[in-house]
Structure formats: C-alpha cells, structure tokens
Amino acid sequence: MKKGTLINADISYAIAKMGHNDMLTICDSGLPIPRGVQRIDVAIKKGVPTFIETLETIVEELRIEEIIIAREIREISPHMFQEILKIIESVEAAENIKVRITEVDHEEFKSMTKESSCIVRTGEYTPYANIILKSGVVF
C-alpha cells in the first residue's frame, strides 16, 4: 500500500507522468471539462471533498512553479482566494521556491483547461474555485 498523503491512484499516476510545464486543473463541481482531457472525478456530494482539501493534498505531491486562476475569484469568492494564497505561501516557504500567480478572465481559464493533462473535479460549490497548477522541476 502506498505510504503518503495522496492515495488516489488516478491522481498519483497523473502527477507521476507530468513533466516541466505540464498542467493539472483542480475544479469545483460546475466547471465544464473539455472533451479529450482526462477527468478524475472525486466529487461525492456537495462539499465533499472540498477544493481546499484537494489542493492541499495535491501540492504535497506536485512541485508547482505557477498557478493560474480566474481573476473573478477575488471579487466573487474572496475567502477562497485568500485560502489559495495561504496554501501557495506555505508551499513557497516549505520548498524555498517562488510560485508565479497568473490571473486570467474566467473564459480564458476555461479555454486553458483544454491543455491540462487531467482535471480533478471536487465536490466544491464555491464559485470560481478552480486552479491550474503548472508543474515545476524538483532540481
């Protein structure tokens, strides 16, 4: 049995296959998932698992160098935006790296998800609780 925080086999495998600059998206329950992109649906019911729990777990396993979010999150879901920033700050401190934060409009964000290696769908119901994680390198 795998020892570690991330025990979802599909997510673990998707991360293992990622190279530098590959993208993984974590989304709320409502984000449209483009055809042709692997969907890893972990949603069980409203709020389970949360977007934040999923993000915290994935960033423990994936080295990130950039995040991409919809700029609408600042105004529509400011509490979620602040939670994302806290997680990124803790990643930066723990790994002694700087993570670039890129904000785009929601329509552009949805278009960018077509380039993701996979999209992890959560049970989150908070508007704009979506993020693209761009893979970094571990050396």
Q: CA 101: distance to chain centroid?
A: 13
- Round to whole Å and give the CA distance between 58 and 133: 9
- 4, 5, 9, 20: the catalytic one is 20
The two three-digit tokens of residue 25, written as one number:
């998206």
Using alpha carbons, list the distances in angstroms from residue 39 to 65, 101, 102, 107, 136. Answer: 23, 24, 23, 19, 22
- Catalytic site includes residue 20: yes
Phi, psi of 138 (to 5 degrees): -90, 5
Q: Which residue numbers are catalytic?
A: 20
